[in-house]
């Protein structure tokens, strides 16, 4: 029986499932590979501080964030693990980067010199990871191995700690892009090593190459994000079996504000987008697109209400969503429905919601707004 709830909309994040997903990654990669879980975007909206605490408790020595601000927030919460800032930083963020002991990913050779200058000013050895654009065509240097080696050797305070790259099409086994990226990246690593430069870490893989066991892409460190939250994207082409045993760690609920009966022919919501084909009982939910329910679910998504699938009817609006509860007429205001998660043997996950909404599961998770309360269970 669902209990009346104190919140309009909330997520329940399972600490033990986050921990279990981390252990599942470790089981696949084995003890020789460092795991640097990705907690950017507030841990894909699971809450970066709480998630980081769980991961550090499980033995994670590294965490990856998107930007300096996210790294500072973890430091302020007392997280002492190494923190890699992956998505570059602005000149205005450099001071905080060093002050908070964050480790930058550097993306151009000029930025190595710039970091060295800053580190020299502070008389502080600053480790950095250099990102190679091996074919993603986004951030990262496209310089040759000899140019990279020369740039690394030309400084004394900034110290190369890792070489990394990122894949564009890791799940697509019908494409040759990933093997090509691996080869290009390896040739840069080999060239840098041949110049007598030592580095501790080589990393290329996010969740997908872990889950599909692309071992030649693991290097000495992996950067799983999605998998930590319980998701692995489907593959294309002739992929090996997916071996990673992870489950979603987050359930998303909303309270029912009102229940009412409407006659056949009645219109529901903005634009009269839905017309009742029969007399029906509807419920108004205390969550809308401002909470992260994709507007594209208007008239096509579904939730789980009273243990049964209940279609979303009419437009998803900013603060409210309407559903058809004719199958579970006993539901009352104050009862909770499930937007994401499992209820009564039924489940909806972010990948399913994303498919219906024409987006990606990452987008659904990151779209859960900060005003949705977080509860840790």
Ligand X SMILES: *Cc1c(COP(=O)(O)O)cnc(C)c1O
Q: Which residues belong to the active site?
A: 40, 270
Burial of residue 368 (number of CB atoms within 10 Å: 0-12, 13-18, 19+): buried
DSSP string, 203-237: EEE-HHHHHTT-GGG-TTEE--SGGGGT--PPPBS
Compare residues 45 and 223 and give the one whose CB is closer to ligand X.
223
Compare residues 27 and 261 and give the one whose CB is closer to ligand X.
27
Question: Comparing C-alpha atoms, which of 287, 294, 288 is closest to residue 365?
Answer: 294
Beta strands in 6-110 (DSSP E): 9-13, 34-35, 62-65, 82-85, 103-106
Minimal distance, residue 285 CB to ligand X, in Å: 29
Question: Comparing C-alpha atoms, which of 340, 333, 336 is closest to residue 368?
Answer: 340
- As a whole number of angstroms, the distance between CA 69 and CA 71 comes to 5
Compare residues 166 and 302 and give the one whose CB is closer to ligand X.
166
Question: According to the binding rule CB under 6 A, does residue 211 interact with ligand X?
Answer: no
Which of 8, 53, 166, 253 binds ligand X (CB under 6 A)? It is 166
- Which region among 178-186, 217-225, 235-243, 250-258 touches ligand X (by CB under 6 A)? 217-225
Minimal distance, residue 230 CB to ligand X, in Å: 11
- As a whole number of angstroms, the distance between CA 141 and CA 112 comes to 11
Which of 19, 65, 81, 86 binds ligand X (CB under 6 A)? It is 86
- CA end-to-end distance (rounded Å), the chain: 18
Compare residues 192 and 222 and give the one whose CB is closer to ligand X.
222
Compare residues 227 and 305 and give the one whose CB is closer to ligand X.
227
Minimal distance, residue 226 CB to ligand X, in Å: 3
- As a whole number of angstroms, the distance between CA 25 and CA 194 comes to 32
Minimal distance, residue 81 CB to ligand X, in Å: 16
Question: According to the binding rule CB under 6 A, does residue 38 interact with ligand X?
Answer: yes
Question: According to the binding rule CB under 6 A, does residue 46 interact with ligand X?
Answer: no
Which of 17, 207, 235, 298 binds ligand X (CB under 6 A)? It is 207
Question: According to the binding rule CB under 6 A, does residue 115 interact with ligand X?
Answer: no
Compare residues 131 and 253 and give the one whose CB is closer to ligand X.
131
Q: Which of residues 219-278 bind ligand X (CB under 6 A)?
A: 223-227
Minimal distance, residue 207 CB to ligand X, in Å: 3
- As a whole number of angstroms, the distance between CA 37 and CA 52 comes to 9
DSSP string, 154-178: T-SSEEEEEEE---S-TTBTT-SHH
Integer-rounded Cα Rg, in Å, for the chain is 24
Minimal distance, residue 209 CB to ligand X, in Å: 9
Asked whether the beta carbons of 268 and 313 are under 8 A apart, the reply is yes
78 Cα distance to chain centroid: 22
Number of chain positions touching ligand X (CB under 6 A): 11
Chain residue at closest Cβ approach to ligand X: 225
Question: According to the binding rule CB under 6 A, does residue 206 interact with ligand X?
Answer: yes
Interface with ligand X (CB under 6 A): 38, 40, 86, 166, 206-207, 223-227
């Amino acid at each position: 029986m669902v209990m009346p709830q104190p919140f309009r909309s909330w997520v329940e994040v399972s600490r033990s499932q986050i921990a279990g997903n981390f252990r599942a990654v470790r089981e696949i990669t084995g003890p020789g590979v460092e795991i640097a879980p990705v907690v950017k975007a507030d841990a894909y909206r699971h809450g970066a501080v709480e998630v980081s605490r769980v991961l550090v408790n499980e033995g994670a020595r590294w965490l990856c964030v998107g930007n300096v601000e996210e790294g500072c927030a973890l430091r302020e919460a007392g997280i002492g693990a190494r923190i890699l800032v992956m998505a570059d930083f602005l000149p205005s963020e450099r001071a905080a980067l060093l002050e908070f002991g964050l480790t930058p990913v550097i993306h151009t050779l000029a930025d190595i010199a710039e970091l060295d200058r800053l580190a020299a000013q502070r008389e502080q050895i600053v480790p950095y990871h250099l990102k190679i654009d091996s074919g993603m065509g986004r951030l990262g240097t496209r310089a040759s191995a000899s140019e990279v080696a020369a740039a690394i050797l030309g400084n004394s305070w900034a110290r190369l700690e890792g070489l990394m790259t990122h894949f564009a099409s890791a799940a697509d086994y019908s494409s040759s892009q990933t093997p090509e990226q691996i080869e290009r990246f390896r040739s840069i690593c080999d060239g840098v090593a041949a110049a007598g430069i030592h580095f501790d870490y080589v990393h290329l893989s996010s969740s997908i190459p872990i889950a599909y066991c692309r071992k030649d892409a693991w290097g000495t460190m992996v950067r799983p994000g999605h998998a930590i939250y319980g998701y692995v994207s489907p593959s294309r082409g002739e992929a090996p079996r997916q071996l990673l045993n992870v489950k979603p760690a987050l359930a998303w609920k909303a309270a029912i504000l009102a229940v009412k009966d409407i006659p056949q022919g009645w219109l529901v919501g903005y634009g009269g987008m839905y017309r009742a084909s029969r007399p029906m009982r509807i419920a108004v939910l205390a969550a809308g697109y401002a909470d992260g329910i994709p507007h594209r679910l208007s008239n096509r998504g579904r939730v789980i209400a009273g243990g049964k699938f209940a279609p979303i009817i009419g437009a998803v609006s900013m603060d409210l969503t309407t559903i058809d509860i004719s199958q579970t007429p006993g539901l009352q205001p104050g009862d909770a429905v499930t937007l994401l998660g499992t209820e009564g043997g039924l489940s909806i996950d972010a990948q399913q919601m994303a498919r219906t909404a024409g987006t990606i599961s990452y987008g659904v998770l990151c779209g859960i707004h900060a005003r949705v309360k977080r509860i840790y269970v």
